[in-house]
């Protein structure tokens, strides 16, 4: 009577393909590519007792020195509480420092220290190496195209804060190519 298994449980033996015009190839590749892409820094981070969240914070603090906590939350799209622990650890270990905002003293501007800059570079190096190798594998001329594809994968509303390529990074300093 009270079967635990409802009648529906018949196994489907055929693989899902592109039947419904679904691009499983790229879906799957994206999964594998991102996993391996993050595995490089993950190994380094483990030595510091850090995780991927630390990497992201460190990355953006180095990319946009002086950004505020609120701006960082907006870029990462996480909550204050999620950031709190990670940021505190980075500050305690002297990778990041907080400076009181000049205009608004409530704000905390975040800056990397030399130590934080060095770690950010160390984490980015293997990722950049992987990217360079991949671009070479598929004809290096296509760099721009890959960039455009990835940018187009991002939600349109968010593309503003990406400021890719052109080096219009964070305003201030910049200028580089």
Q: Would you count residue 160 as binding a copy of itself (CB under 8 A)?
A: no
User: Looking at beta carbons only, is 101 or 165 nearer to DNA?
Assistant: 101
- Using CB under 8 A, count the residues that bind a copy of itself: 91
Stretch (H or E) spanning 112: strand 108-112
Bridging pattern class, strands 108-112 and 96-100: antiparallel
The two structure tokens encoding residue 157: 């509303």
| Under rule CB under 8 A, residue 140 binds a copy of itself | no
Residue 98 DSSP symbol = E
Could you tell me the smallest distance in angstroms from the CB atom of residue 126 to a copy of itself?
10
Q: Name 112's bridge partners.
A: 96
**Chain-centre distance of CA 75, in angstroms?**
10
What does DSSP assign to residue 141? G
51 in contact with a copy of itself (CB under 8 A): no
Cβ proximity to a copy of itself: between 84 and 162 the closer is 162
User: Of 55-114, which residues contact a copy of itself (CB under 8 A)?
Assistant: 56, 59, 62-66, 77, 94, 97, 99, 111-114
- Residue 79 or 166: the one with the smaller Cβ distance to DNA is 79
H or E element: which one contains 11? none
Contact window for a copy of itself (CB under 8 A) among 43-51, 82-90, 100-108, 137-145: 137-145
Here the tokens at position 59 are 């990355």
């Amino acid at each position: 009577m009270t079967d635990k298994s409802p009648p529906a449980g018949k196994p489907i033996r055929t693989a899902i393909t592109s039947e419904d015009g679904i691009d499983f190839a790229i879906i799957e590749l994206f999964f594998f590519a991102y996993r391996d892409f993050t595995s490089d820094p993950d190994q380094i981070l483990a030595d510091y007792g850090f995780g991927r969240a630390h990497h992201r914070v460190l990355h953006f603090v180095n990319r946009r020195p002086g950004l505020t906590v609120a701006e960082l939350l907006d870029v990462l799209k996480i909550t204050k509480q999620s950031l709190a622990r990670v940021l505190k650890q980075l500050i305690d270990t002297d990778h990041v420092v907080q400076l009181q905002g000049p205009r608004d003293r409530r704000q905390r501007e975040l800056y990397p220290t030399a130590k934080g800059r060095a770690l950010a570079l160390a984490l980015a190096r293997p990722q950049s190496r992987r990217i360079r190798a991949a671009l070479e594998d598929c004809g290096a001329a296509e760099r721009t195209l890959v960039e455009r594809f990835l940018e187009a994968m991002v939600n349109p509303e968010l593309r503003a804060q990406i400021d890719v390529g052109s080096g219009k990074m964070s305003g201030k300093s910049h200028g580089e190519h």
